[in-house]
Structure 1
Amino acid sequence: MISSINVTIPPKPAKSYPIVISSGLLKNAQEWIAEYCHSGKVVIISDDIIAKMYGELLCDNLQASGYRVELIIFPSGENSKNIATKTAIEEKMFAFGCDRHTLCIALGGGVVGDMSGFIAATYMRGMDFIQVPTSMLAMIDSSVGGKVAVNSSYGKNNIGAFWQPKAVIMDIDLLKSLPEDQIINGFFEAVKIFLTCDSEYFEFCESHLDLILALEEKSLIKVLQKAVALKAMVVEIDEEERNLRMILNYGHTIAHALEKLSKYAIMHGFAVGLGMLIEAKVANFLGLLADTDFIQVSKFLSRLGIDKTILESYDNQSIIAAMRGDKKNLNQETVLVLLTGIGSVKNIDNKVAFPVAESVIAEALDYVRTSSLG
């Protein structure tokens, strides 16, 4: 005899959180922290570079306002984004006395945000956290959307969760300390979302590129606001990446393969830029993207300084083999987001990632490897 009992879990209320974009937010943290921290206890997670620049400032600011604060620091870089680092941070949190009512603040770039968010998702089965991104890449992409993870020996971001922050605090003053290549590294993610979703803003980026990269406030905030708004719209429709959210992975399947092969020597944004170019050529070969549109994409990415020389270090077989482990793949087939124009992709009932023959991917790799850009 088999007995069966059904368990019905009531739906959770809709989640919402503010994304605040302004200057001076970090030095005035006491003005916004009270809304999110009700226990009086805060743990700040940062890497060794950002902690020196901003961690002590934030820590002192909050302590002066009466909060108990612990600053936990780990080595910077993608190679620290693993289970061992996560466990070491959690041990320090237990020692400090963190509970599920403690507020976690992720202060740093994408690695810090991913690590802190995954810790927040799992520590005592979940705690509140706030993203305070300090890089262009984190502001435009990784701090928004709730995807948090660490890497494993089998690939990037393949152990993780969906865990939304209570708020995202974007202080554009923090970008002023970054070198231009770090600004461009993050800007590639804005290009990605405009190429797939908004031709008008892609053209704005074409005509205002120098101002954006110089961090001219009006142009910068316009790009940040639109990129974040478009990503938020996609996430609201498909939080757990069942269909439409895969549009945000344009360029990323090849990018993640190149990052893994290079042991993360290539910066994420530049890998995405190269991935976008190759995946655009795939769409062009499939007859979905016009030659004129591909040339427009190629010229703009060339202005941003994408470097094709990394393709000379790996043959097609190695790159395609690394792509096979991508978590978006279906039935062991590589799926890609395919441009149909500037600001549009192949979309069938919100399905936006489609299987592509490895022979076509190899052909696109050969084309980009041997052709001139711009």
Structure 2
Amino acid sequence: MPVVNVELRGEFDNSYEITVDYGIMDDVVADLRDRKFGRTPVVICDENTRELFGLDLVEMLALEGIDPLLLTVPAGENSKSLEMFGSLLEAMLEAGITRQDVVVALGGGVVGDLSGYVAGSYMRGINFVQVPTTLLSQVDSSVGGKVAVNIKGGKNYCGMFYQPKRVYSDISALDTLPEREILSGLGEVVKHGFICDHGFVEFLNENADRVRALDREVMSRVVARCCEIKADVVSRDEKEGGVRRILNYGHTVGHAIETFAGYELSHGECVAYGMRIVSRACNRAGMLSDEDLALHEAVMDRLGLATGLLDINPSEIMELMKRDKKVKQGAVVIVGLDRLGNAVVCEDFPLQHIEAELAGIVK
């Protein structure tokens, strides 16, 4: 059972463990039974994870003499809203939830982001744990404490840094996902290799077929390695003041595509396109070698990531990038690659190269 430690020992000790294994829901039940994180669990899920996991979790807790509060939100990005955030807070207050209780986020990135923001805000903060059920949430959004909702003007503009007390990543949950959700998560998987670990990129390229088949052994290794990489970065920079910015590789362009598409494309899909665009632009700018770009393209092709054309307007994408949260003194900050496995933060990146590459993926 791989266990990844996220070491966060600043003014307060916010450290926690990520457990990665196949079929670990019993561990979740045992820890909640023992009141390890709080008394009454508030289980927040969406319509899909309620049927797949939520009702079973409630039943298992009931057998242990625990009566949780089960709250369900509609599936999809639209649930990451201030309206849904408010309705969950009201439901918890009406049910008599106190600061001694615990929020359990049971679902993908939307549920995790929303639940964490609810937990961090309710009565100025109560404990929460993450039980991520999608590949994207297991390798990325459940780790690092970024929680948020969207507002009309942009994604994740209303939120905070609020760390979970523990993360339980059950590899068996991946078997329930449609192919599009797997591909969305793989976008974040390859990102971790691109920014920090050339050897991991080679591993993914050599084992692409086993990754696509969700081989149990390979996926346990993949999820754990991504968590190790992100945990290392977050432990050095919890609140994104420096090195943590490299985790945004592909995101500035990807978020703009996601917003332009009205969230019809998933986050992971958009990040994959963002990485394609930025890697090619880095090559145009003389930063990334032809050899490294070729491996970058090969592993994405083998995993089926960002392989088609998009119905986008490059000039509008460029305008949306200027509204990104990471804009600094009016300049768009781009995370690029100077070699595969090493990301660099560029505050003066030649944006004309990005616009040129965007034009190359238009239908």
- 1:107-161 residue CA offsets vs partner (Å, 9 max, x unmatched): 0000000000001111100000000001001000000000000011111111100
Q: Pick closer, same or farther for the CA change 1:158–1:38 going to 2, 3 Å.
A: closer
2:40 is aligned to 41
Q: CA deviation at 1:308?
A: 5.8
Match of 1:6 in 2: none
Residue identity in the other structure for 2:293: F
Alpha-carbon distance between aligned partners in 1 of 2:322 and 2:307, rounded to the nearest angstrom: 21
Aligned to 2:322: 324
TM-superposed deviation, 1:92? 0.6
Give runs of aligned pairs for residues 62-81 of structure 1, distance below 5 A.
62-81=61-80
Deviation at 1:285, TM superposition (A): 1.6
**2:106/2:133 contact within 8 Å kept:** yes
Partner of 2:248: 249
Cα shift at 1:336: 0.7
Matched, 1:337 2:335: yes
CA RMSD of aligned residues (A): 1.6
| 1:289 Cα offset (Å) | 0.3
State the shift of 1:324 in Å.
Answer: 1.0
- Structure number with larger C-alpha Rg: 1
Provide the rounded CA distance (Å) in 2 between the counterparts of 1:72 and 1:37: 21
Query: Does 1:314 find its partner at 2:307?
Result: no
Q: Would you say how many aligned residue pairs link Structure 1 and Structure 2? A: 354
Q: CA deviation at 1:357?
A: 3.5
The aligned counterpart of 1:121 is 120
* Offset, 1:364: 2.3
Inter-partner Cα distance in structure 1 for 2:45 and 2:362: 38
Counterpart Cα distance in 2 of 1:114 and 1:336: 24
Counterpart position of 2:88 = 89
Measured at CA, do residues 185 and 83 of structure 1 come closer, stay the same or move farther in structure 2, by a change above 3 Å? same
Contact kept, 8 Å, 2:334 with 2:349, in 1: the verdict is yes
Q: Mapping of 1:1-374 within 5 angstroms?
A: 12-34=11-33, 37=36, 39-307=38-306, 311=310, 313-346=311-344, 352-369=345-362
Q: Secondary structure at the match of 2:331?
A: coil
SS state at 2:270 partner: helix
Deviations 1:204-228 (A, max 9, x none): 0000011122121211111111110
The normalised TM-score by structure 2 is 0.93
Is the deviation greater in 147-156 or in 182-191?
Answer: 182-191
| Change beyond 3 A, Cα 1:176–1:301 | same
- SS of equivalent residue, structure 1 residue 211: helix
1:353: Cα distance to partner? 4.0
1:14 alignment partner, SS class: coil
Quote the Cα distance in structure 2 between the aligned partners of 1:310 and 1:151: 27
What are the superposed Cα offsets for residues 274-296 of structure 1, whole Å, 9 maximum, x if unpaired?
10010111211211101222122
TM-fit CA distance, 1:101: 1.2
Secondary structure at the aligned position of 1:21 is classed as strand
1:333–1:326 CA distance, 2 compared to 1 (3 A): same
The answer as to whether partners of 1:102 and 1:127 remain within 8 angstroms in 2 is yes
Shift of 1:31: 2.1
Q: Which has the higher contact order (CA 8 A, sep 6+)?
A: 2
Of all paired residues, the percent bearing the same amino acid is 36
Structure 1 pair 287–35 and aligned structure 2 pair: CA distance change class (3 A): farther
C-alpha distance 39-292 of structure 1, shift in aligned 2 (>3 A): closer
Q: How big is the shift at 1:89? A: 0.9
Q: Structure 2: 5+ residue runs without aligned partners? A: 1-9
Preserved CA contact (<8 Å) 1:44 1:107: yes
State the shift of 1:305 in Å.
2.6
Q: Secondary structure at the match of 2:72?
A: strand
